[in-house]
Amino acid sequence: MKFHHLTLLTALISLGCAVPDPNGNTPADAGPTVELCGNGVLDADEECDDSNRRNRDGCDRNCVLENDARCGDGVVEGDEECDDRNTFPGDGCDERCRNENLADGNDSFADAEPINGRSAEGVIATPGDLDFYKIEAEAGQWLAITTSANPDDTPGKVDTVITLFDADQNQVAQNDDAYPRRNTDSQLITKVVATGTYYIKLEEWTTWAGETAEGEPSYTYTLNVSVLNTEDIGAAAVYGEEGGNDAESALALDTETKALILSDLADENDIDVYSFSVTDETKAHFSAQLMPLGTDGYGSTANGTRMWVADMDGNIISRISHVGKTDEVGPGGLALGDYHLHIQHSGNAVGANDFYVIKFNLYGDNPAEAEEDTNGVLGTAEVLTPSPDGTSTRYFVLAQLSEGDVDYFSFDLAQGNNITVACGSASSGSGVVGLRAELRGEDDNVIQGADENDEGLYIRNIAGQSAGTYYLRLTATSVDPEVTGRYVRCGIHTGPPRG
């Protein structure tokens, strides 16, 4: 999605990118070894290696000579569609000697390009261009399908959408931006239900969304396909093993080196239990985010999946059922100790592919509310600490909102700046029900308010306010007596209007 905004509520965001690595390294998997083609070294069985995996530059994506064709020599030969004596795009003949006004040869299921290694390079060269690829996969395999195209979320670069189809061209899964969103690159992690051919369609977001289609020679991308090997766990994934439905059989999560759970719900009574420990007070925010279900998500049929976090006494701290695009349990301010993460089948009829993918980690959290006893009125509002960021300033808080509680927090606004507020509570598993946030002025007048829904709570781009002190007021209609967590995580962004 072309949504180039500054994320405010960092505590509601967990790992992104391809198969996530909590150590911040290049995303890894335990699949096949790295291909040698494209490393610039002429290895065994290669006819050429020009340091890339592109066709039509004299050395194709599999390091096979392309009939001695050399793009840029002024002679149209081999697989070249044109040759204008240069390798510059945008002049009608691109850097791979393809006619920029013609289709690129993989624009339909029938013309799908095989991916024989682990990646393919392509370009959405013209508006409305569709690129099709095909792979062979085996039942039970976990596949990670990602794009590398726009890591810095830069306007004017391609915004990919990938869709996976089975051999009969039925849609299996789809993704626009990886979850949690960091940029416009795409990610799918899915479990293969039947052995055979699968198709991948890659398109520009504007085409997919039905807007004015974009495409040009600079809209290049790399499509990556990895098989995640369950026999050699390694890397960043934990593969769930059926050992029972109780805490005694919990599978331990290593939050230092792992970040991903891949598993199945075996039947309508299945509950999978995982354990984790909080050993550092500066990392007391546990996040477990269930990746999107259904054919417009990662392809799971396990709709209605439930998640909750409990302490060792069985008290539920955070709980959620699948209702939105993605779902998260995100309790904050956890005490040092041991906890359990529970994943439960909805109890409905078993589907054809009831798997789940969860991204998890332990993080630092927003500054904790410090003046609960006195911040119930505007006159004694708790002053939030500013976090300058260039021309903008951010404010964060992890509030605790008990039944009947009212919390005021104050922050400053510079002249000409806008205000945006983002909060999350029940949407990330808290027991707070009916969260309401109001932006108020110095006279306790309501400037704008919002109520939390399944996706969180947002007050966006409030403009035209004078410089001065403003207030965030938090209330709730009730609390869930079965969930002990009362956390409310909020971020406030003040900055110049966006053009």
pLDDT at 325: 59
Mean pLDDT, residues 110-119: 91
Mean pLDDT, residues 32-49: 69
Mean pLDDT, residues 149-161: 92
Mean pLDDT, residues 126-150: 94
pLDDT at 232: 44
Identify the CATH number of the domain defined by range 378-495: 2.60.120.380
pLDDT at 6: 33
pLDDT above 60 for 25: no
pLDDT at 102: 58
The C-alpha torsion from 212 through 216 and 218 to 222, rounded to 10°, is 80
pLDDT above 60 for 30: no
**Token pair of 263, please?**
């598993």
Phi, psi of 31, rounded to the nearest 5 degrees: -90, -150
Cα distances (Å, whole numbers) of residue 272 to 208, 242, 350, 421: 36, 7, 15, 36
pLDDT in tens, 244-265: 577 888 888 988 888 889 999 9
pLDDT at 15: 26
Which of 4-18, 156-170, 178-192, 300-314 has the lowest average pLDDT? 4-18
pLDDT at 281: 93
pLDDT at 235: 54
Residue 80 banded pLDDT, cuts 50, 70, 90: confident
- Averaged confidence pLDDT in the chain: 86
Phi, psi of 328, rounded to the nearest 5 degrees: -140, 140
Residue 344 banded pLDDT, cuts 50, 70, 90: very high
Residue 117 banded pLDDT, cuts 50, 70, 90: confident
Contacts of 48 (CB under 8 A, 6+ apart): 42, 58, 59, 63, 64, 65
pLDDT above 70 for 400: yes
pLDDT in tens, 51-64: 876 665 677 767 87
Cα distances (Å, whole numbers) of residue 74 to 77, 85, 86, 99: 9, 4, 8, 14
pLDDT at 123: 94
pLDDT above 80 for 96: no
So where are the chain's domains?
A: 35-100, 237-363, 378-495
Q: Do domains 237-363 and 378-495 have the same CATH topology?
A: yes
pLDDT in tens, 451-499: 999 889 999 999 999 999 999 999 999 999 999 999 999 999 999 987 5
- The highest-level CATH class for domain 237-363 is mainly beta
Which of 29-43, 110-124, 330-344 has the lowest average pLDDT? 29-43
Contacts of 78 (CB under 8 A, 6+ apart): 56, 58, 66, 67, 68, 69
pLDDT above 80 for 85: yes
Mean pLDDT, residues 320-349: 87
Residue 243 banded pLDDT, cuts 50, 70, 90: low
Mean pLDDT, residues 117-131: 92
**Token pair of 454, please?**
């399944």
pLDDT above 70 for 153: yes
pLDDT in tens, 273-316: 999 999 999 999 999 999 999 999 999 999 889 999 999 999 99
pLDDT at 8: 36
pLDDT at 241: 64
Render the burial of 96-113: b for 16+ CB within 10 Å, e for the rest. bbbebeeebebeeeeebb
Percent of the chain surpassing pLDDT 90: 63
What is the pTM (predicted TM-score) of this model?
A: 0.79
pLDDT at 238: 75
Percent of the chain surpassing pLDDT 70: 86
